[in-house]
Amino acid sequence: MKLFFLKKIPTFCLFFGKTQLLGIPIIGFFLFLGMSSIAQQEIKPCNQPPAFIQTLGFDPLWTALSTSEKQKMGAVLIAYKKVDGISSPLPNGPRETVYQHPSWRSAGYLSAICFDKFGNAYVIPSPFISMLNNPIEKLNTVYRIKNLTGDMQPWLAILPNKKTSLENPYGLLGIAYDCIAHYLYCATVAASNRQKEAGIIYIIHADTKRKSDSLVGIDAIGLTLALDELGNKRVYFGKARTGDIYSVAVNSKNKFVKSSLRKELSLVGIGPRGDDKARKIRFQNNTMIVNGIAFNFNLQASSEKPETQYKFQWNYASKKWQLIDLQ
C-alpha cells in the first residue's frame, strides 16, 4: 500500500492500496485531496504527513509511504523525482531513492496504513506467500511509526491471547482513522475458521488505547469512515467472505449503533471475475470508489492478482448505489 503526501488542501486518506497502492498483502496509498458537500461523502480529513520525512531531507509532497514494494519487506518511503510542470508524483513515476528505517522490517510484511492528525502512521501485518516472516502470534498487533523519529514499534495487541487457525492465516485485515473523534477502527478475523465467521471490528481511542466498542461476528476488510446521506458518521467495510459492502453508524459516544447495520451494495456478479472482495473503499463527493480483488483466506500471491476499480453513485430517488464505471 502506498500513501502519498500531497498539497495541504482539504483532503482525504485513501485507505488501502498497493504502493495507501493492499495485499493481502494489503497495500496502501494516502492521498490528501479535496472534498465537496454532497451527501454520502468522505469526512473532512485531518491527516498530516510525518515530520520525519522533512528531517530526512525529503519533500513530503514528493514522497509516498508504501508497504507494497515486492523487493522490500515491511514499509518504505519512496522519494520521487520532481518533474517540471507536474505538482505531485504519479504512482509509477520516476524515483529518486527508496528509504527504509531499520525498524520498518521488524513486523514482517505489512498491509494497510492510516495516519492520525499528528502525523503518526499505523500499520498492520499481513503474511505474504508464507508465514515465515509473519509469526501467527503477531498478526493481531497494530504497529505505529512515530511522527518525529520514524521509529516503528508495536502499538497495541488487539487480541493478545488469540491465535489464528491453520485454516485462516490472517489476523488484522483492516484499519482506519476517525478524524472527527481521534479513534482507530481495527478489524480482525483471527477467531474465524472455514465454518465460523467470528471476526471483530474494534473502536479504539488513539491516545489511551482503550476499546470503546466492538462489532462481533463480521469478517471485515477495507475499512473506511464517511458521512451517509443523512450526514451521520458510518463505518463502511467489505465482507471478507463475500463481495458485499456493509456499513454501520457510530454515535457521538463512539459506540456502534448495531441496529443501523445495513448492506450498501455487492460486487457479486459484476466485474471481470464476479467474486471480488472490497480491498479498499473510499469516497469522493457522492461517489463510492471500491478496489476489488480475489481473496479466499489463503496465502497465494494476492498482490499479483488483478484488481478492478468500481465506482458507484448514490441515487437519491431510489436510495441505492448504482454502478457508473469499472476499470
C-alpha cell at 294: 480475489
The reported pLDDT for the residue numbered 33 is 33
C-alpha cell at 315: 441515487
CATH code at position 266: 2.120.10.30
pLDDT for residue 25 is more than 80: no
The reported pLDDT for the residue numbered 18 is 37
The confidence band for 161, taking pLDDT boundaries of 50, 70 and 90, is low
Other beta carbons less than 10 A from residue 219's beta carbon:
27
Domain count, the chain: 1
Q: Domain span at residue 255?
A: 2-326
> Across the chain, what does the average pLDDT equal?
86
pTM recorded for the entire structure: 0.87
3-state secondary structure (DSSP) of residue 55: helix
The whole-angstrom separation of Cα 28 and Cα 126 is 12
Q: Name the strand (E) or helix (H) holding 52.
A: helix 52-55
Decide: residue 99, CB within 10 A, 0-12 exposed, 13-18 middle, 19+ buried: middle
Radius of gyration of the chain (CA): 18
pLDDT for residue 317 is more than 50: yes
Strand partners, 253: none
pLDDT: which is higher, 261 or 23: 261
Give 82-140 pLDDT, tens digit per residue: 988 888 898 789 999 999 999 999 999 999 999 999 999 999 999 888 888 998 889 99
As a three-state string, the secondary structure of 65-128 is: EECCCCCCCCCEEEEECCCCCCCCCCCCCCEEEEECCHHHHCCCCEEEEEECCCCCEEEEECCE
